[in-house]
Structures are given as structure tokens and as C-alpha cells.
Chains A and B, each alone.
Chain A
Amino acid sequence: MPNTQELQDLTTQVRRDLLRMVHKVNSGHPGGSLGCAEFLVTLYNEIMDLKPGFDMDGIDEDVFFLSNGHISPVFYSVLARRGYFPVEELSTFRLLNSRLQGHPTTHEGLPGIRMASGSLGQGLSVAIGAAQVKKMNNDSKLVYCLTGDGELQEGQNWEALMYASAKGVDNLIATVDLNGKQIDGPTDEVLNMGSVKAKFEAFGWTVLELKEGNNIEALIETLNKAKGLTGNGKPICILMETEMGNGVDFMMGTHHWHGMAPNDDQLADALAQNKETLGDY
């Protein structure tokens, strides 16, 4: 099990990967990717119980679903660095004939991906289905899911939330990336959702609040706490506050970098803030 410094180094390398990926093709979504780098690195390298290799059914291992598929750059980097596919393949992101499509897909057979996502609001339902089947299979491993906060504006989420508590889907840990930003601006301005915590609780979920979603130690603590709460008859949610663009000073504090790639100078600046730790792809 890696120590937090190793996870931090991996996070820095993941940031470099994703910045270089979006820069190369001048497209993709670096802001939310940077905000969730610590989460995905921690999840895949510290929290989840994973089998070697990849098979679609994921029996007797934890499985994860990315609902906000536009943060594919960070997902691909974390998967590659975890050994699901060669890190060199990150250089094909968004290119013709690549397995690394703009948004994640099973269609090209990329190991590590179990569901296409990108059209928002669908991942939680999928995760619930997979969690129900784990119970049917007497598989004690867990299902994880990440959604964005703006994504909660999609109504399907609330169907899923209702179902999960009504049916006691308690082998599921859903994390919401509360970065407070979406394409058209701050989430509170685009469509103020009020208290997300109160809403999840009203829907019968156990809610954990994580104020430091970019802090690896805090992530480990909260995710472990969430694991400890599984099996108690209620679905579990982590409301994870993150900084969009985290780790690159000029990308933080704004929604500008949601779906915008850095130019050459900006990339150089961003990489200078994140020195190579594990070797670039």
C-alpha cells in the first residue's frame, strides 16, 4: 500500500499527463480533471480492492463508475498509471482510431472502462444496478461512483437516489465532486440547488462531508469511513469539495478551464508547477 507521498507524486504525474493530453489535441476538460486527481489516485491506489487485469464483470473486486465522463483525461491517466493499459497510449487521447475517446467508452475495449459516460446523469443508476447484482452474487465487494455537482441537475439522479434508499443499496459509495462550477458559471448562479446535503439526507442517504477533497490524507480518512458505513441498510454519499483546476495556479478559482485546453505557454507554466515524478508518457 503506497504512502501519502507516493500518492502525491502519482497525483503530480497524473496532472502532467492530463495537461499534456488536452494540450496536444487542443480539446478536453482539464478543470474538473485536475480537481478530481487526488480522489481518483487515492481511490484506485489506496481504497479499492482490485484484482489484477481487467474483466467486465468485476466479480470479487470493487468497481467504479465515472458518471461525469468529461473528466476522462484524469480517469485515463489514473487507469494507465494503475496498469490497466500502457501509459504510452495516453498520447492517443482524442485522436482518430484511439481507444481513448473524448468521453470514456466500452466500445473500443479500453481496459478499466465498464460503461460509456459523457451524457450526464446516468452513472448513478448504472452503479446501483451493478451494486444490486453484487448482492445477488454474494459478492461483498463495493461499487463506487463519481458524479459532478452540476450533473445533479439531471433528473435521473433523483430517480436513482430515491431507488437506492428505498431498496437499501448499502454497498454503494457515491461521491459528488462539489467544485461549485459548471460551463455557464458558478453552480449557484446557473441553477441553485440549495443544500445538496439536505437533499441527499432527505432522500434517505448517509452523507459524509469532505471539505478538503484535494487533500489525500483527508480523502483516505473519509473514504475509509464511508467503507465502514457500508452494509447498514443505507446508501452512502461523500460530498467532496474540490478546487476545479487544482494544482495549476491560473486554472484555479474559475470555471474558465472546464473545457478549455492550455496553449503552449500555459502548458509550460502548468508543467513547471508540477515537476515530473514518475516519468512522462
Chain B
Amino acid sequence: MKEYTYTEKKDTRSGFGAGLAELGRTNPNVVALCADLTPSLKMGEFIKENPERFFQVGIAEANMMGMAAGMTIGGKIPFAGTFANFATGRVYDQIRQSIAYSGKNVKICASHAGLTLGEDGATHQILEDIGLMKMLPGMVVINPCDYNQTKAATIAIAEHNGPVYLRFGRPSVPIFTPADQKFEIGKAIQLQEGSDVTIIATGHLVWEALEAAKTLNDKGISADVINIHTIKPLDEEAIINSVKKTGCVVTAEEHNILGGLGESVARTLATNLPAPQEFIGTKDTFGESGTPAQLMEKYELNAEAIVKASEKVISRK
């Protein structure tokens, strides 16, 4: 079993900020827009270094998405940033028509996704955004797991010609992926090799999946752990190959079980290799105020919940 350790915790939004800053230095076509949340999205470095390529739109997300779409005409690559709630639900039709259906090269950069936004509560804790975005034809949906992966993903999506939804978050989480990783859109990452159960996780739940695999290992259960950072296009081959070995799967995401990664995995398996599956995610509910750790425990989005789900799904084989 591979050992994963970390020396530092950091927020994934800072990975976005670092990636954007690097793009500012390397890709002159990258422009950034924000709806009055630049400190929260860690966009300061890009703005400081490229003030002429930053567009502050004020608290007006619909206009921001429309402007971003228009800015692709003339060759720019707009990175439009705000909280995930305001980057999706609030502007769904703007994204649908002006970005997705129009096939525009816009990068929707969504911070503070999920429960781990914490104390601000359910108004800001969107748990439906992956579903909303993955349903849009042509939209790439990415939810990286730590600072390094978020930075790498931010840099990689500039090279992809088409709309992308990049989801990241607020809390500090362990940095366990390599700083020099190459981010390949749509390519799953095998973190642990195992034979009893497949654990497929995205975003903040990936570290929890690794912790769960350790506990399971202590119990004599061998878990195959896969990091799906790209929910769409989904690396179906990696999923199928793993479940061929293990015969069952647990999916884990900081999102409603309706419409999220779990359902994409279920569809893949149902049409290729039917297998028992358990879903770690919020159960069709809104969140609430609390610390990130309290919320992840209450809503059963942690390593402990993944262990329980793994034992259950193995029993269903």
C-alpha cells in the first residue's frame, strides 16, 4: 500500500490563484473577470501583475458570464471567477446559451463549493453545481483535490479549447499530490491498488478516501482508490478496469448524491459492468452553518463514512 503524507495544508482556491498567476506570466491571451470576490478567489497576484487583463464586474454575475463569452471573440481566454453558487445556479441560463451552446472558450472558476464553505451556511453552500454543469453538452467539469492539483488544473484548462467548469474550495486540506504533476483532463489517477473495493473520489473527499483505505487495510480490506478530478469527460475505462478487479464501488464527493460523480459512475457501470455501489454525498438536502469538519461529519462526508460504505458495499457483492 502506498504511503501518502503531507507537510502542509492549504486551500484549493489558493492553488487556483497560483495557477492563474502563472498563466498571467505565460499566456498573454488569458484574461480574468471577477464579481467582487478577488481576495476570496486569491486572484490578487494575477491582478497585480496584469491589471490590464483583469475585469472587475461588480456584483453582477450574469453580466460577467455574458462578457466572458464575448471576450472569447477576438481570441482571449476568459477565466471568470466567483463562488460556486453564483457561478452556476445564479447564471445557469447565461452559461447555457452564451457559453455552452455557443461553444465559447470560457473557464468558469468556482470557489467555496460544497459544505466546507462552513459558517456562511446553505445559501452559499452549493451542492448541486456538478450536476448543473455536467448536464450541459460540451462542458468539461473538474473538481481537483488539493492545492497542487488545483494549480495544475488551472494551468491545464487554458490549453483546452472549450468551456470548462473548475470547482474548488475554501478549507485548508492536505497537499499530497506532487507539485510537478502534469494535469490531464479526463484522466483518472490511481492512488491505491486494491482488490476488495473500489473507492472513487473527487475534490476534498480524495484525502478522506486515502484515510479510509488505510483504516480498511488495517481491517484486512484492500481498497482500490481512484482520484477522479475530471467528472466530465469521465475516465470510464479506469472505472471499469478497477471494478473488474473489485466487483463493487463507493463514490465520494462533496455534492448531492443526485446529479454528481456517483451518478456518472453508476451510469458507466450500469451500461458496462453492473456492480453494487454506495454513494457518499449529501442526501438531497441543503447544508447549514458549522465548521467544515463538523459539517463533513454530520453529513457523513469523511473517511469514517467511506469505511462504513465500503464494508456495506462489499457485503452486497
Contact = CB atoms under 8 A, between A and B. Distances in A.
B98 interface: yes
Query: How many interface residues does chain B have, given as a range?
Result: 20 to 34
Interface of B: 31, 52-53, 55, 57-58, 60, 62-76, 78, 93-94, 96-98, 101-103
Given A156-B62, A163-B60, A128 B70 contact: yes
B66 A116 contact: no
Contacts of A57: 73-75
A115 interface: yes
A134 B102 contact: no
Contacts of A106: 101-103
A162 interface: yes
Contact of B67 (A63, A129, A155, A162): A129
Contacts of B76: 133, 136
A117 B76 CA distance: 21
B58 A122 contact: no
Given A125-B66, A132-B55, A155-B62, A118 B97 contact: yes
B105 to A, nearest CB: 10
A128 B53 CA distance: 15
B57 A133 contact: no
A133 B75 contact: yes
A117 B94 CA distance: 10
A232 B60 CA distance: 25
Interface string A106-138: 110000001111110111111111111110110
Report, nearest first, the 5 A-B pairs whose CB atoms are least far apart: A129-B70, A125-B66, A129-B67, A133-B74, A159-B63
B306 to A, nearest CB: 41
A160 B63 CA distance: 6
A56 interface: yes
A105 interface: yes
Nearest to B74: A133
Query: How many interface residues does chain A have, given as a range?
Result: 35 or more
A163 B67 contact: yes
Contact of A125 (B65, B74, B93, B102): B65
Nearest to A128: B67
Given A59-B75, A116-B102, A136-B76, A130 B70 contact: yes
B66 A162 contact: no
Contacts of A163: 57-58, 60, 63, 67
A125 B75 contact: no
A139 interface: yes
Contacts of B74: 57-59, 130, 133-134, 136-137, 139
Contacts of A159: 57-58, 60, 62-63
24 contacts: A57-B73, A58-B74, A105-B101, A115-B73, A119-B96, A122-B66, A124-B66, A125-B64, A125-B69, A125-B94, A126-B69, A127-B70, A129-B66, A129-B69, A129-B70, A129-B72, A133-B71, A133-B75, A133-B76, A136-B52, A136-B74, A136-B76, A139-B74, A162-B60
Contacts of A133: 31, 70-71, 73-76
